[in-house]
Structure 1
């Protein structure tokens, strides 16, 4: 957990620096006659931060970094190369509120697209606690493999920077998209429809 706190502190400092550089003295107030300009600058700052953080993330069209991890029952699952179905790899942690919000949607979408989509929920156990992982899985009724990234090495391979991170991988084993943060069920389903078509 200490490492997580340092990463979070670093992201906050980075965000503050980006906001300061782009907004100067007008970081806090977004009202007044310059309100629109400041809102636009804030949106650009947020986009710049996202792009900066995602710089080392595997790019669409490139092969998904390969890995093998055990699930909660000790069965090994692998990613890398061609597959029978498209794949959604969901990096998450039990303490992550957006992960809790998207969990029911993941279950419903996994059921709906089970003929054409696999879902691997990769718990980054390096930043979590095994007993909390099991509680989370039971509470949200996960029906797909829950893999344990005990050393955080797979998360690093994918340049993980935030929870949740969803990686969409097509049947050829190539990354179609990396989604940092959660989406609404409608938005995620639209992306999954495209993924299973490819």
Structure 2
């Protein structure tokens, strides 16, 4: 009887191990991009897809400053949805910092911690650890993430100066991929 229980335990442990490997492999694969849809955006054509006007929202950062998205702007924008426990988010944070500083004249980056799926003290530690050089807001109820039909972390929404979504990137980008997308977005 003991040998059967030991074998069953071994089989269950093997299944759990393989499931963890499969999940890890899924998160380490290439980021998925949502293709650009060729259509004209209008005030009534708002949504979370490429070619549509970015859904409007406003959120406060930890100092109480309000940041708004929606409509034309002076600079292109990347809205970065993240969580502190997300390993790809941790890998991407230093690169976003570099790009925020390098392209500060033509690009804004807004970090949005989806606090409804995170623990705020951990998010605050993440901000300090990576010394984020761009504004970070807390989506405490997940309403903004829902507006953008968020599914994975990180999700980067690239928005042009007209307030139109150029691309939605699911998953982390390499530094080179990120810079190419920024150059394309800003025309720099």
TM-score, with normalisation over the residues of structure 1?
A: 0.71
Whether 1:63 aligns to 2:53 is yes
Residue in 1 that maps onto 2:78: 88
Deviations 1:120-143 (A, max 9, x none): 000001011111111000100101
Q: 1:161 aligns with which of 145, 151, 156?
A: 151
Could you say what the CA RMSD is over the residues aligned between the two structures, in angstroms? 2.3
Larger Rg: 2
The one of the two structures with greater contact order (alpha-carbon pairs below 8 A, sep at least 6) is 2
Residue in 2 that maps onto 1:172: 162
The DSSP-based 3-state class of the residue aligned with 1:61 is coil
List runs of 5+ in structure 1 lacking aligned partners: 1-15, 17-27, 29-45, 52-56
TM-score, with normalisation over the residues of structure 2?
A: 0.75
Residues 110-189 of structure 1 correspond to what in structure 2 (within 5 A)?
A: 110-189=100-179
Would you say how many aligned residue pairs link Structure 1 and Structure 2? 149
List runs of 5+ in structure 2 lacking aligned partners: 1-18, 23-28, 35-46
Cα distance between partner residues in 2 of 1:113 and 1:70: 23
Shift of 1:60: 1.3
